Amino acid sequence: MANFSDFNMGIYLTGLSGQKPPFPLTYAGMEELAKSKLDPELYDYVAGGSGDEATQRGNVDAFAGWGVVPRMLSGAAERDLSIELFGRTYATPLMMAPIGVLGVMHESGHGDLEAARAAAATGIPMIGSTLMQDPMETVAAELGSTPGFYQLYTPNDREVAESLVRRAEAAGYAGIVVTLDTWTLGWRPRDLQHATFPQLRGYCLENYFSDPVFRSRLAKTPEEDRDAATFTWALMFGNPGLSWDDLQWLRDLTDLPLILKGICHPDDVRRARDGGVDGIYCSTHGGRQVASAPALGFLPGVVAAAEGMPVVFDSGVRTGVDVVKALALGATAVAVGRPYGWGVAAGGAAGAEHVLRCILAEADLTMGLNGYRTIADITPDMLVRLP
């Protein structure tokens, strides 16, 4: 049985012939490489967070508050990282979080396709954003046999929302992830200083511009008048009136697994569970939207309230050790965003695949060297609170 940590030894073996890794092996190194390739305004858009960015830093720092307790002589030479999620078996608990400007993060202008190719190569599911530079169907075609999920920013036009979900179903996506915390933009000083917001310039709107219902709302097609189409999107994107009263409508839109993203309070978990959703996505949007406590601090309460319902987690995940700690605190699956995004910017599909394999190798080694053989062995008692 192969271990994901074989990637680690493979680097040493190829090094015998003088071959070095094609990309950095740390988050900081990959971010720096990506920064050198990105327009400064786009870099700040991706790297930045809300307010003074304390929540963003807190999401990352929260992982340092936990340590892993080693167990010896446990027979963990071979590991099994597979999980069951929404009726499917996945080889790993890792997922690719949605990134709304992923398309323009690659020099080709097709970063969503590059990420999908990385998903196909690794078997790690990609959660494709509503805000894609290529239509969702084109992205899905690049996923190969790896399932993808479709993330929905619910527009205030219900018929457009329904059309987007129907298209995701037809394209073969394995679930719908509804983001709840972005019905308006948060206070983002970096973006405000640049006075820039990529979508207002017409970027990453192809899921709308290719949608027949959205196009029916336009006097001219996006090909004829992109500015007018972008303005129509801007009026439609925010949905401040979305409430628990709309949950039944969302549930009735699809038979696919429905996952609510941005849930952090146990009472909200219970309302979602009672409303028939299939999964909870505990996230603070990577600290991009609003000031809050670190997402990792919310995770145990969310898991307890979920009562066995799957919980996906993101926000602040940078390393394989972080993945293991989130699993120990109860996450069913763990999503990474900026890490693979920097990979796409630095090297397209190859860059993203490199990042994902680094994270998996480190998670696998963290489990094996600490004596934990399977995901079932990763429980809260393997962690200790650090001062």
The reply to whether 133 sits in an annotated binding site is no
Domains contained in the chain, CATH given: 6-14+78-379 (3.20.20.70)
The residue written with tokens 């167990």 in the block is: 71
The reply to whether 301 sits in an annotated binding site is no
The reply to whether 318 sits in an annotated binding site is yes
Tens digit of each residue's pLDDT (9 = 90 or more) over 276-312: 999 999 999 999 999 999 999 999 999 999 999 999 9
The reply to whether 175 sits in an annotated binding site is no
Alpha-carbon span 202 to 224, nearest angstrom = 13
Structural tokens at position 208: 């709308």
User: Does residue 192 surpass a pLDDT of 80?
Assistant: yes
User: Does residue 362 surpass a pLDDT of 80?
Assistant: yes
Residue closest to 139 by CA, chosen among 101, 178, 161, 168 = 168
The reply to whether 98 sits in an annotated binding site is yes
Structural tokens at position 87: 């009726």
CA count, 13 A, side-chain hemisphere, 353: 17
The reply to whether 196 sits in an annotated binding site is no
Residue closest to 242 by CA, chosen among 312, 152, 131, 130 = 152
User: Does residue 33 surpass a pLDDT of 70?
Assistant: yes
User: Does residue 95 surpass a pLDDT of 80?
Assistant: yes
pLDDT of residue 1: 57
The reply to whether 153 sits in an annotated binding site is yes
The reply to whether 285 sits in an annotated binding site is yes
| Residue 137 exposed, middle or buried by CB count within 10 Å (0-12, 13-18, 19+) | middle
The reply to whether 155 sits in an annotated binding site is no
Tens digit of each residue's pLDDT (9 = 90 or more) over 202-260: 999 999 999 999 999 999 999 999 999 999 999 999 888 899 999 999 999 999 999 99
Tens digit of each residue's pLDDT (9 = 90 or more) over 50-88: 999 999 999 999 999 999 999 999 999 999 999 999 999
The reply to whether 151 sits in an annotated binding site is yes
The reply to whether 220 sits in an annotated binding site is no
For the four alpha carbons of 221, 222, 224 and 229, in that order, the dihedral sign comes to: positive
Mean residue pLDDT of the chain comes to 97
pLDDT of residue 238: 81
For residue 376, how many other CB atoms are within 10 A of its CB? 9
Tens digit of each residue's pLDDT (9 = 90 or more) over 144-187: 999 999 999 999 999 999 999 999 999 999 999 999 999 999 99
Residue 265 annotated as catalytic: no
Alpha-carbon span 174 to 159, nearest angstrom = 21
Residue closest to 141 by CA, chosen among 162, 117, 125, 121 = 117
- % of the chain with per-residue pLDDT over 70: 100
Q: Which of 106, 194, 265, 285 is catalytic?
A: 285
pLDDT of residue 115: 98
